[in-house]
Every structure is written in C-alpha cells, then in structure tokens.
C-alpha cells in the first residue's frame, strides 16, 4: 500500500456503532425566548469550609486562552495543536453520528492510530493547562488550543463556542477515518463528504497547511514545511501551491489534488490573491469542523 506511515486509507462502511454525540458541559439550559447562558459550577471550598462560587464559561475560556498564549510564547507548538484538534474532530461520520470533536483521541486505542503519530506530544503539552481549568472538557480545550494557536500565528480570530462533551473510551473510533495524503480528490471527497463537508471546505481546511510541517518520524513524509514561514498563519500555502518553484517546500498528493480541477484551481487562485477572503471563509469552515458531532 502506498500509505506512508501516518495517514491511513478509509475503510468503507466500517463506521463504529457507538454514539459520541456531544452535549453541553456544565449547566446550560435553553428556555424559549431567553438566550442560553452557560456557566460551569465550581465547588470552591475555602479553609473555612464555605462552598460558594460559580465560574462563568467566559471566565473559564479567558483563563484557558491566557494559559495557551503563555504556552505558545514559550513553545511555538501552535501547528501541532491545530492538527490535534482536526484529527479529533475529523473522525466524525454523519451517517452514524459517531466520532467528532469529543476528545476520544486522547485514549490509547485512538491515539495509537497511524494517522495520529506524534499527537501524544500535543496532548501532553495541554495536560498542565487542563489541570488549571479542570471544569473545561478536554474536547473544548483541544479545539480552543487550535483557534488560539491560529490567532497567535497571525491568523483569523475564529469564533469559538464551549460545551463539547468528552467521550468515553468505548466511543473511540476505528482506525482509517482520516485522509490518506497519498491520494487525490476522489478519496478526499469520500472522507470529507462523510463528515458532512464539501469541496470548498476541503480546500479551505487544507489551507491550514500554511502552518507547520511534516515530520519523517511521525507521518513518514519529508521534514519540510509547506511555506517559508511555517509559524505564520496566512495564505501562503495557496501562493506556494501555485508557484511550485521551491524544492525545500512540501507538496503532498492531497495538496496537489486541490489544483486538479478547474473550479478548485479557481479557488486556489482566489485565496492566493486575497488573504482576507481566505481568513473569512477559512474561519467558517474551521468552526464547522470544530463542532462536528456536537450540539452547541
Ligand atoms: C486534506 C487532507 C489532509 C491530509 C491528507 C493531511 C496530511 C497531513 C500530513 C501527512 C501531515 C504531516 C504530519 C507530521 O508528519 O507531523 C500534516 C500536518 C498538518 N496538518 Fe494536515 N492533512 C489534511 C488536512 C488537514 C486539515 C483539514 C487541517 C486543519 C484544519 C490540517 C492541519 C495540519 C497541520 C497544522 C499540520 C502541521 C502539524 C505540525 O507541524 O506538527 N491538515 N497533515
């Protein structure tokens, strides 16, 4: 099989039977006509034994955001966080409503999938932050780490909602739901359509390869980035894809596939020319990806 290390092929019809639909963490109630207010209760017992404190979700989010920024200032690990969040969410299959952004990736059976090679590093980097915001689900933290990472790298400010529910270990998905980098549009469509995403979203989300690089000891691909500034989140992925003149940069078969059809090529050109258009459309696609399988 042409599969090189990390990213396996899709097994048709092998969707797991277990449901992992996300719900709202903490206390949230929707009353007709009244906006939904989310809060997460924290039992904070002082030395005098008094228990009385409620941490509102926005405060929790702010605290986690500050911790994530502090991490990125010390360790520029933003790209691997984006990959972690995507590999957690990208197991979603609409037909069975299984998988999705539920942090099942942190369990042994799922993190061991070939496609997830190296992502334990990202989870371990997030554990000290999780310990500081224990009321936040892992699923929210993984997705927040991604949006904060993109913003930290100069990318768009992506809207973020909290309330993802963590899966149990039994809800881990089977191997083979994530895309194979050695295949073209037919395969990418099978995988992304299964998540409920379309051609434009495949292309936009692939634009996240403006960030980071491949690691030969993880995916087996050459140790190369897609752009000259892999810690900057911008539209240069599309610029380099079109230019195709720098052998020090990476091009996977799945990246080249985005130029294999006229309509797709038109979008590559559009986003190469217009960073703001890319940021706007990327944000919407990213929100959709980050909420797969969740009712927020
Ligand atoms: C279209 C199908 C996709 C394929 C076949 C694919 C494949 C890959 C591969 C092989 C790597 C290298 C991993 C390594 O060696 O460390 C990688 C890295 C990465 N991918 Fe994708 N990917 C796809 C879509 C996406 C999407 C949808 C996102 C996010 C929205 C994404 C974000 C990233 C990031 C940020 C990295 C860099 C990670 C790092 O620097 O550690 N990818 N991808």
Write the CATH number for 143.
1.10.420.10
Read off the tokens for 144.
């927040």
Q: What is the pLDDT of residues 34-74, one digit of tens each?
A: 344 444 444 444 444 444 444 578 999 999 999 999 999 99
Where is average pLDDT lowest: 12-16, 148-152, 262-266?
12-16
Q: What is the pLDDT of residues 63-81, one digit of tens each?
A: 999 999 999 999 999 999 9
**112 touches 172 (CB < 8 A):** no
> Rounded to 5 degrees, what are φ and ψ at 251?
-140, 110
Mutate to test the pocket of ligand 1, among 208, 216, 225, 233 (most ligand atoms within 8 A of CB): 208
Domain count, the chain: 1
Question: Ligand 1: distance of its center to the CA of 161 in Å?
Answer: 23
**Residue 224 domain-assigned?**
yes
**Residue 30 domain-assigned?**
no
Residue 150 has pLDDT above 70, yes or no: yes
Question: Ligand 1: distance of its center to the CA of 186 in Å?
Answer: 18
Specify the higher pLDDT residue, 148 or 31: 148
**Residue 32 domain-assigned?**
no
Residues 138 and 165: their CA atoms lie apart, in Å, by: 8
**Residue 37 domain-assigned?**
no
Residue 229 has pLDDT above 60, yes or no: yes
Read off the tokens for 138.
């892992």
Asked if residue 213 has its Cβ within 6 Å of ligand 1, the reply is yes
Question: Ligand 1: distance of its center to the CA of 142 in Å?
Answer: 15
Bridge partners (DSSP) of residue 40 are 55
Question: Which residue has its alpha carbon closest to ligand 1 atom 24?
Answer: 206
Q: What is the mean pLDDT of residues 229-250?
A: 98
**Residue 40 domain-assigned?**
no
Q: What is the mean pLDDT of the chain?
A: 86
Instruction: List the one residue out of 142, 132, 190, 183 whose CA is nearest residue 162.
Output: 142
Where is average pLDDT lowest: 4-18, 105-119, 142-156, 245-259?
4-18
Residue 209 has pLDDT above 80, yes or no: yes
At 15, the pLDDT band (50, 70, 90 cuts) reads very low
Task: Give the rounded percent of residues in the chain with a pLDDT score beyond 90.
Answer: 81
**Residue 48 domain-assigned?**
no
pTM of the model: 0.86
- Domain range spanning residue 99? 1-11+56-296
Residues 172 and 188: their CA atoms lie apart, in Å, by: 22
pLDDT score recorded for residue 55: 57
ipTM, 2 dp: 0.99
Residue 23 has pLDDT above 70, yes or no: no
Asked if residue 6 has its Cβ within 6 Å of ligand 1, the reply is yes
Question: CB under 8 Å to 108, separation ≥6 — which residues?
Answer: 169
Question: Ligand 1: distance of its center to the CA of 84 in Å?
Answer: 9
Question: Which residue has its alpha carbon closest to ligand 1 atom 17?
Answer: 214
**Residue 35 domain-assigned?**
no
Mutate to test the pocket of ligand 1, among 83, 214, 290 (most ligand atoms within 8 A of CB): 83
Asked if residue 114 has its Cβ within 6 Å of ligand 1, the reply is no
């Amino acid at each position: 099989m042409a599969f090189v290390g990390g990213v396996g092929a899709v097994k048709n019809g092998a969707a797991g039977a277990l449901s992992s639909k996300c719900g709202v963490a903490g206390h949230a109630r929707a009353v007709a006509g009244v906006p939904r207010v989310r809060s997460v209760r924290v039992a904070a017992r002082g030395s005098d034994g008094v228990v009385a404190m409620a941490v509102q979700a926005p405060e929790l989010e702010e605290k986690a955001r500050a911790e994530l920024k502090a991490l990125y200032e010390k360790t520029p690990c933003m790209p691997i966080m984006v990959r972690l969040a995507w590999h957690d969410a990208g197991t979603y299959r609409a037909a069975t409503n299984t998988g999705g952004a539920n942090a099942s990736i942190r369990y042994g059976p799922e993190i061991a999938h070939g496609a997830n090679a190296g992502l334990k590093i990202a989870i371990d980097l997030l554990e000290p932050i999780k310990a500081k915001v224990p009321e936040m689900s892992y699923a929210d933290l993984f997705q927040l780490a991604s949006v904060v990472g993109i913003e930290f790298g100069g990318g768009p400010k992506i809207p973020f909602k909290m309330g993802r529910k963590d899966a149990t270990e039994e809800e881990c998905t089977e191997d083979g739901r994530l895309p194979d980098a050695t295949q073209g549009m037919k395969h990418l469509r099978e995988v992304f359509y299964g998540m409920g995403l379309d051609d434009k979203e495949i292309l936009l989300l692939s634009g996240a390869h403006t960030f980071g690089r491949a690691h030969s000891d993880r995916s087996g691909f050459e140790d190369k980035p897609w752009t000259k500034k892999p810690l900057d989140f911008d539209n240069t992925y599309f610029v380099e894809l079109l230019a195709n003149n720098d052998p020090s940069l990476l091009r996977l078969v799945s990246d080249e596939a985005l130029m294999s059809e006229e309509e797709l090529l038109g979008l590559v050109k559009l986003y190469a020319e217009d960073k703001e258009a890319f940021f706007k459309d990327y944000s919407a696609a990213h929100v959709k990806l980050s909420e797969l399988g969740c009712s927020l």
